[in-house]
Chain A
Amino acid sequence: MNEVITNNPKKRDEALAALHQVIDPEIGLNIVDLGLLYQIDFDEGNKIVFISMTLTTQFCPMGDSIRSNAGQAMQQAFPDYTIDIDLVFDPPWSPERISEQGQEFLNR
């Protein structure tokens, strides 16, 4: 799995723990292990968390819902922050981005 870029490794882990609760309904796997997250940056001055993430396809019918769920999960974990989620499709998602745990889950 590609590493999630961040300017705050400690808070990134906290964010990943929250985002672990967000599941892609079709695949049944959480968005962290699915490799949908690219970047999580914290702007401490303005209290904003910037998240850059993707979807398995740009047309994903669940796209809006997954983004919305990710926003809710982050808001609960960081109530004092504004959550700004950017959907990007370059580079596109590929199955190589699935983590080892994710692959194990899907191979069951």
Chain B
Amino acid sequence: MVVNTNNNLVQNTTHKVVIPFYVYAGLSFLTATVLLFLSDNAFTQHYFQPRTLAITHTMALGWGTMIILGASHQLVPVLIEAKLFSNALAYASFVLAAIGIPLLIYSFFQFQFNGIAQAGAVLINAAVVCFVLNLAASILKSKNKNVHAVFVFTASVWLLATTVMGFLLVFNFTKNILPKDSVRYLSLHAHIGLVGWFLLLVMGVGSRLIPMFLISKYDDAKTLWLIYFLVNGALISFIVLFFSAVDSFFYTVPLTAVLLALLLFANYCREAYKQRIRKQVDKQVKISLLSVAMMLLPLIFLAALIALLLFSFANTKLVLAYGFSVFFGWLTAIILGMTFKTLPFIVWNKVYHNRAGLGKTPNPKDLFSESLFQKMGLAYLAGFGLFTAGILLGNTIVLQIASVLLFITAALYNVNILKMLRHKPLIK
């Protein structure tokens, strides 16, 4: 007879909470690539136009944010070693965002900022409030507050700042509640989201997961705190500069701080890699590590943009390439890699939790197709490279070929997710 006297295990967030976020995100990625195919001309024009706005928000909210929200509900308990405060709030954040995001995207596509867009903005903000409250309550209840948890919580506050600003921008189109027109604030809205939400969160979670998956002894909280202050300092100084209406030259200050933070983070990952105990690195982790290097590409475009602005020369191709390299490059690469590191555990636990000890179970990595994953990776790299080239060259044929490759990437991603979710237990 086996008895267990204690239950010191931190309870996993139920798969019922997490899986809907992953499925929604996968479908959003697929939708974005379809929109990309239908909008090749949009990428040879100015960035402020209906299709570009619709695609950007499909990627930022439907793909990036939804999957990160889902994964955070699972990963934050890992970081703080405590249970998620409320499943109900997690469900609420999913339902509210899942309804709000298409409303907003539809409105962008139609270029109408009426009641539908406003309802979408309200719902998305409500979803983010539920998420932030859930995170705050979980962290407050936990005894273990570490640098990774601080990264994640701060990122969630920046996410709220981003969506509140988005809400104001949407209402400003019809009610003039801001001193200037909404387009004027786009770069502020975008950078609070990119740097405050995505960058800070990826660094906070990545700095914990990458050494964990590599089984590395490396740990350097001091460097992580330095990165934290550099990124937040960069963002705050960017906001101050934005409202001071100073010369473009001063934007090199936050840019340098972010560049320094990225180099420190890349070095952190390199050290973790060097000190790894497990020599063999699987392809999912390799793609995630590649995405760390891909963080530098948007920065190169941004530095070129600032340099051109110094000579009062705005280049819309570079703006588009910058945005594309963030959402379809860096963020997509990290999501493609990490999905197949995190979701197999969630599904494995759902299927085999009560069957352990009854026979030999498959490993989590056996729940998806490695061959499909490889094909997806190749299609992605080719599609991303070609599309970026297509933007810079202004060539619609290259853009169309690239968008087909990106569509194939998204389709293979979804097929593999479906394969995992449909996994039936091999032991009864």
Measuring CB to CB, which residues of chain A are less than 8 angstroms from any residue of chain B? 25-28, 55-69, 71-72, 74-75, 82-89, 94-96, 98, 103, 106-108
Closest to A22 in B: B357
20 extra interface residue pairs, beta carbon distance < 8 Å, beyond A62-B345, A85-B3: A25-B348, A26-B363, A27-B215, A28-B363, A57-B212, A58-B10, A59-B12, A64-B353, A68-B356, A82-B1, A82-B2, A83-B2, A85-B2, A85-B5, A86-B4, A86-B5, A86-B6, A95-B215, A95-B216, A98-B277
Assess the A68–B357 pair: CB atoms within 8 A.
yes
- C-alpha gap A85/B3 in the complex (Å): 7
- C-alpha gap A72/B356 in the complex (Å): 9
- C-alpha gap A5/B81 in the complex (Å): 27
Assess the A96–B357 pair: CB atoms within 8 A.
no
- C-alpha gap A83/B5 in the complex (Å): 10
Assess the B217–A95 pair: CB atoms within 8 A.
yes
Assess the A59–B6 pair: CB atoms within 8 A.
no
Residues of A within 8 A of B4 (CB): 67, 71, 84-87
How would residues 348 to 367 of chain B score, 1 for a CB under 8 Å from any chain A CB and 0 otherwise? 11001100110001011100
Q: Does B9 contact A (CB under 8 A)?
A: yes
A62-B9 in contact given A75-B2, A82-B3, A103-B277 (Cβ < 8 Å): no
Measuring CB to CB, which residues of chain B are less than 8 angstroms from any residue of chain A? 1-10, 12, 77-78, 81, 212, 215-217, 277-280, 345-346, 348-349, 352-353, 356-357, 361, 363-365
Of B278, B361, B365, most buried by chain A (CB within 10 Å of CB) is B278
Residues of B within 8 A of A107 (CB): 277-279
Q: With both chains docked as a complex, state the minimum distance between the C-beta of B208 and any C-beta of chain A, in angstroms.
A: 10
Residues of A within 8 A of B1 (CB): 75, 82-83
Q: With both chains docked as a complex, state the minimum distance between the C-beta of B194 and any C-beta of chain A, in angstroms.
A: 29
A-B residue pairs in contact (CB < 8 Å), sample of 15: A25-B364, A26-B345, A28-B363, A56-B212, A58-B10, A59-B77, A62-B348, A65-B357, A82-B1, A82-B2, A86-B6, A87-B8, A95-B277, A106-B280, A108-B279
Q: With both chains docked as a complex, state the minimum distance between the C-beta of B87 and any C-beta of chain A, in angstroms.
A: 16
Residues of B within 8 A of A62 (CB): 345, 348-349
- C-alpha gap A28/B345 in the complex (Å): 14
Residues of A within 8 A of B277 (CB): 95, 98, 103, 106-107
Residues of A within 8 A of B5 (CB): 84-86
Assess the A57–B78 pair: CB atoms within 8 A.
yes
